[in-house]
Structure 1
Amino acid sequence: MEALLSVAFDNLSSFDGPKIKKGLKLVEGLLAQICLSQPTSSSKSPTKKPTPQNETQPDAPKPKTLPDLAHDPAFREFFKLQEGFEWNVAQRLLTTLDRLVAKGGDGQNDLLILSALDLIQGVLLLHPPSKALFSREIYMNLLLDLIEPVNCPAIQCATLLTLVVALIDTPTNTRTFEALDGLLAVTSLFRDRDTSRDVKVKLIEFLYFYLMPETPSIPRAGADGGLHRSPSKLARVFGGGGRDKEERERGTQTRGMEDKQRLLSQLLPEDHVEQLVRDLRTSAPFGVVLL
């Protein structure tokens, strides 16, 4: 796995578009290998009769379940490699994304940015401690830059989803988002008449998510800037379920719905914010009923 990551990182470090694309494809292939079960040929099943559709095509690979991942050697190796700076995929993808943004917009470059954002989402879900990177202003600002109106709607939508993944269960990152006027950036985009309908839908979904009460942080960054284990379900397979005093203190930096409603009401009409809160309490858009 180190050899594959080494080749991928070499390509991601390039300024050449085709090489960056190759690096992204290598990372995508690795994540797919970890997350998907091996496809089986339909001809191996004695009960399945050949048809024109399955005669020449193998069964599609299926996503592995969380218990499968916990005992999967490839996932365990990947997770352990992510604990160090040298092999951390999220860090490399963010560095590449930063260069792509600085390069300027064109069709091919936008596709590379979209691919990088999708992979960042996947890596953060597989290795939650990597979310600690977004407690740093440089990386949070990178996402906020990508929701600016100068970017195409597809990038704005993908960035909003990446932002949700970076903030979920991580109040430390949410405080960084707020400190950098992230709420102002989101609400300004929502109020902009030129914002596309698809982006506005994603913005409403983001505001629903933001208003949800918070739980203590999953990842944390150590004094050495390293990444530490998460108490999430994925991390428990490595015995990382405990919290030290510092983590408990950081976990108290949370906001409830009322506090967030007050902040949001400073940027949007109060009746709009109240409607969002009513929807959260009655419609349970995330499958959770809030009392």
Structure 2
Amino acid sequence: MESLLSLSFDYLSSYDGVKVRKGLRQLEGLLAQICLSRNNSGQQDRRHSIAVTGNGANGDRQPPKDLGQLRDDPAFREFFKLQEGFEWNVAMRLTLTLERLLSRSSTGANDLLLVSTLDLLQGALLIHPPSRSLFAREIYMNLLLDLLDPTSCPAIQSSTVLVLVTALLERPKNIRCFERVDGLLAITSLFKNGSTGREVKMRVVEFFYFYLMPETAAGRGAGNLAGPQRTPSKRSGSGRREDETKTTNEKQALLGRYLSNVEDLVEDLRDSSFGAVLA
């Protein structure tokens, strides 16, 4: 697995778009291999080939494992262990790839690479929740906000919103970072921009609902496949813990600075199946 990751990372570091795409396809194949079920040795060999070459047809796809199977799978546990170190962390490499791609001129080919990188980053953050800690740092949170620029193509904007939700999931410290770097201003500006398409606006509305939900401290939810791994809190200079959670009412007040109908969103949440947790 280390050799495949090393080869993929080398491709991702290239300035050649073709090589970057190859690196992305290799990582996609590896993640697919980890998350798909194993029915027989021939299928395992086929998926290994897909992981190495990045090739495969829809007919070769296998049903995904459920979370219980994934947690106990040797390949997943090996991958998870490798992600704990900087050298093999996929989310970190994909974030650096985003940074390089964003610095290039906007072209159709580059936009496709950005979307593919964002989709893989979301997957990496779901498979290895501790990697979400990257986005407690302002430099990486600002990178996501830059991708929400109104001049970005709709596909990039939609994929970025999905990554943002995943990066904030069960990470109060990340949410505080998002608020601190004016993330609420960035995403509400995108929503209110007249050039923003309907599909992107729907994604943003979904983000608003997610943001307004009561927060769960890191390691206490079901998203951490390896089990609870809570790090002791650190206090900021103001005496407030950096990972301290906020209530729906507190976040409603913050979002209300930029959006006029936040009360309606909260009321919708109370009337939905999530009403119990908001009560």
Could you say which residue in structure 2 is the equivalent of 1:224? none
What's the CA shift for 1:245? 3.8
1:66 deviation in Å?
Answer: 1.0
What corresponds to 2:258 in structure 1?
267
- 1:71 matches 2:58: no
Larger radius of gyration: 1
2:233 is equivalent to residue 246 of structure 1 = yes
| Structure 1 counterpart of 2:267 | 278
CA distance in 2, matches of 1:187, 1:173: 18
> 4+ residue stretches of structure 1 with deviation over 4 A?
57-60, 230-233, 247-252, 286-289
Contact 2:35 2:64 in 1 (8 A): yes
| Percent identity of paired positions between Structure 1 and Structure 2 | 58
Preserved CA contact (<8 Å) 1:190 1:203: yes
Any residues of structure 2 matched to 1:90-169 within 5 Å, and which? 90-169=91-170
Alignment of 1:14-53 (within 5 A): 14-38=14-38
Give how far 1:67 is off. Answer: 1.1
| In 2: Cα distance, 1:191 partner to 1:3 partner | 46
Alignment partner of 1:64: what SS? coil
Correspondence for 2:278:
290
Question: What TM-score do the two structures reach when normalised by structure 2?
Answer: 0.87
What is the one-letter code of the residue matched to 1:267?
Y
- Cα-to-partner distance string for 1:184-227 (whole Å, 9 max, x where unaligned): 011111111111111111111100001011111249xxxxxxxx
Distance in 1 (alpha carbons) for counterparts of 2:90 and 2:146: 21
Residue equivalent to 2:12: 12
- 1:255 aligns to what SS in structure 2? coil
Is the alpha carbon distance of 1:62 and 1:247 closer, same or farther for their aligned partners in structure 2, counting shifts above 3 Å? farther
Instruction: Write out per-residue CA displacement over residues 171-193 of structure 1, whole angstroms, 9 at most, x where no aligned residue.
Output: 10001100000000111111111
Equivalent position amino acid for 1:72 in 2: D
C-alpha distance in 1, partners of 2:40/2:203?
A: 37
Query: 1-side partners of 2:226 and 2:167: how far apart?
Result: 17
CA-based RMSD of the aligned residues comes to: 2.4
Output one character per residue of 1:71-117: Cα deviation in whole Å (capped at 9) or x when no partner: 11100000000000010011111111100000121011001000000
The residue type paired with residue 103 of structure 1 is R
Q: Which amino acid aligns with 2:278?
A: L
Aligned length: 259
Unaligned runs of 5+ in 2: 42-57
Q: 1:103 is paired with a residue of what secondary structure?
A: coil
After TM superposition, the score normalised by the length of structure 1 is: 0.83
The structure-2 alpha-carbon separation of the partners of 1:242 and 1:115, relative to structure 1 and needing over 3 Å to count, comes to closer
Unaligned segments of structure 1, at least 5 residues: 42-56, 220-229
